[in-house]
Amino acid sequence: MRSNRRGMALLAALISVLACAPADEPPPDQAMSAVAHTAGAPGIGDPDFPTDGNGGYDVSHYALAVDYAPTTKRLEGVTTIQAAATQNLSRFNLDLSGLDVRGITVDGSPATFARKGDELTVTPSAPIDKKARFTVKVTYAGVPKPAKDSANLGTYGFISTADGAFVTSEPNGSKTWFPNNDHPSDKATFDFAITVPAGVTAVANGELTGQPTTAGGKTTYRWSERHPMATYLATATLGKFDLRQGKTPGGIPNFAATDPKFRSSLDKLYTVSGEVTDYWGTVFGPYPFSSTGGVVDDYAAGYALENQTKPVYGGFEPDESIIAHELAHQWFGDSLTIKRWKDLWLNEGFATYAEWLWSEHKGKQSAEAFFNDYHKRPASDPMWAYPPGRAKPGDLFNQSVYTRGGMTLHALRKAVGDQTFFQLLKAWTAGHRYGHVTTDEFIALAERMSGKDLGPLFDAWLYQPRRPA
């Protein structure tokens, strides 16, 4: 994600999450039995976001069928989830915010369910054994309500627009439009079947699997994202769009869409996205996905989000810098995904540093000059008081996570030299392609490849509440 208001702290202060309800403890006699089935936890285990995601299962695939009417803002959906149990399960939770659940089946048999806040608890007709694969089908409907942070600085999730919807869900807004395991530590592949009034275009992640089909005044678009994706990166952005499709000079399918209000930016979005994607492939390693591109919608979000294969820009004409940022996230955030939000600098520090690398590549200001400009900021600057290596749940998108995160990488580059630094970036993306990462893993790899003790450097830059020397 990146704010379009350069230099301003963005989207601070997410709602402090409610205290986690303790997982039900099994009665002692069941706990003693090898065949005991117990409830999956209502959170996946991120201490900063205790009710995000859920325990007891791992999702491998989502098939989303969504029918949306822009005039009534009503969504009718069927979500089919393929998962595997990671414990003996008597019941399990999904995350869903608002919307009415009409029915749930597990492996074809009706299940009972209960709602409490954003937790949807599903009790299958028969318990599920550890390691068993199972399929959950949830039928639901209603008017989606996006999430808003407590300071009202940002709105995210499924956001209705005059001609459709703008869908950007970082960090936990995908539950505003489909039931899921809403935490980046559980990634899955996605199929989308999105039905909209004829004349409206539906843009989702990955690639179209065929020509849209129209019947009875409605058109269905089918998209497929075949690589694992975090739920917050899923999109079904809908509206009137002008499209440009083709391939990057390097041969990667490229899909650009702009709201008619931003028609003048279509060619630039298409061309720069292609050029950036190809260039990052030479710097960060091979492009991880099957297509690239971007979407400019007329919703004035004031930010862009790196939705997998299709960053979405909210209500402004993106410049090269922000395109470079969002497409760098395809490696850092989308292919390599954080296990917990505290490590967000692994996304935003890298994407911010990519902006500086892009500027350097284009013969403009060097990364060194960016670093020096920021380092001159007085010791009283709030950036120095916020250690970027521990992103705060109430202030996740603090500027320090971005700028000081980027500076951390430049300090590392100076310490290990350009050759090792750029080899490290490629080794990092290759070693964890489509997987999950932590800061400790990055530090360990940097130390291994450089042969240096980098503990003091990372400690000063990531973890201390003061300006590094």
Name the site residues for Zn ion (rule: CB under 5 A).
1-2, 348, 351
The residue among 2 and 227 lying less far from Zn ion, judged by its C-beta, is 2
How far apart are the C-alpha atoms of 183 and 52, rounded to whole Å? 6
Q: Which is nearer to Zn ion, 189 or 403 (CB)?
A: 403
Cβ neighbourhood burial of 212 (10 Å; 0-12, 13-18, 19+): middle
CB of 321 to Zn ion, least distance (A): 12
Please identify, using beta-carbon distances, which residue of 48 and 170 lies nearer to Zn ion: 170
CB burial string 118-146: b at 16+ within 10 A, e below: bbbbbbbeebbeeeeebebbbbbebebbb
Shortest spacing between CB 396 and Zn ion, in angstroms: 11
CB of 326 to Zn ion, least distance (A): 7
* Angle formed by the axes of helices 345-361 and 439-450, nearest 10°: 50
Which uninterrupted H or E stretch holds 403? helix 399-416
From residue 124, alpha-carbon distances to 128, 180, 379 in Å are 8, 16, 57
Q: Which is nearer to Zn ion, 118 or 348 (CB)?
A: 348
CB of 348: closest distance to Zn ion in angstroms?
Answer: 5
Cα–Cα distance measured from residue 71 to residue 162, given in angstroms and rounded to the nearest whole number = 8
Minimal distance in Å, beta carbon 101 to Zn ion? 33
Q: Cα 454 to the chain's mean position, in Å?
A: 29
Residue (193 or 462) nearer to Zn ion, CB: 462
CB nearer to Zn ion: give 160 or 399.
399
Q: 1 vs 196, which CB is nearer to Zn ion?
A: 1
- 315 closest CA partner among 423, 159, 464: 159
Minimum distance of Zn ion from residue 281's CB (angstroms): 19
Q: Which residues contact 451 (CB under 8 A, 6 or more apart)?
A: none
In the complex, what is the shortest distance from the CB of residue 362 to Zn ion, in angstroms, rounded to a whole number? 20
Q: Cα separation of 19 and 148, whole Å?
A: 19
Nearer to Zn ion, 1 or 85 (CB): 1
Least distance to Zn ion from the beta carbon of 404, Å? 14
Of 46 and 348, CB closest to Zn ion: 348
- Asked whether the beta carbons of 360 and 346 are under 8 A apart, the reply is no
- Of 168 and 248, which has the nearer Cβ to Zn ion? 168
Q: How far is the CB of 332 from Zn ion (least distance, A)?
A: 9
> How near is the Cβ of 325 to Zn ion at its closest, in Å?
6
By the 8 A CB rule, do 293 and 256 touch? yes
* Closer Cβ to Zn ion, 178 or 303, answer by number: 303
Of 270, 377, 258, the residue nearest 316 (C-alpha): 258
Hey, CA dihedral for 406, 409, 415, 419, is it positive or negative? negative
Q: Are 336 and 396 in contact (CB under 8 A)?
A: no
Q: How far is the CB of 1 from Zn ion (least distance, A)?
A: 4
Q: Tell me the helix, strand and coil percentages in the chain, rounded to 5.
A: 30, 30, 40
Complex with Zn ion: residue 3 or 121, whichever CB lies closer: 3
Which residues does residue 113 pair with via DSSP β-bridges, in sequence order?
A: 122
* Cα–chain center distance at 441: 20
- State which H helix or E strand residue 195 sits in: strand 188-197
β 155-161/112-116 pair status: unpaired
- Is the bond leading into 171 cis (omega within 30 degrees of zero)? yes
User: Nearest approach, Cβ of 305 to Zn ion (angstroms)?
Assistant: 8
Unique residue bearing structure tokens 């999105």: 194
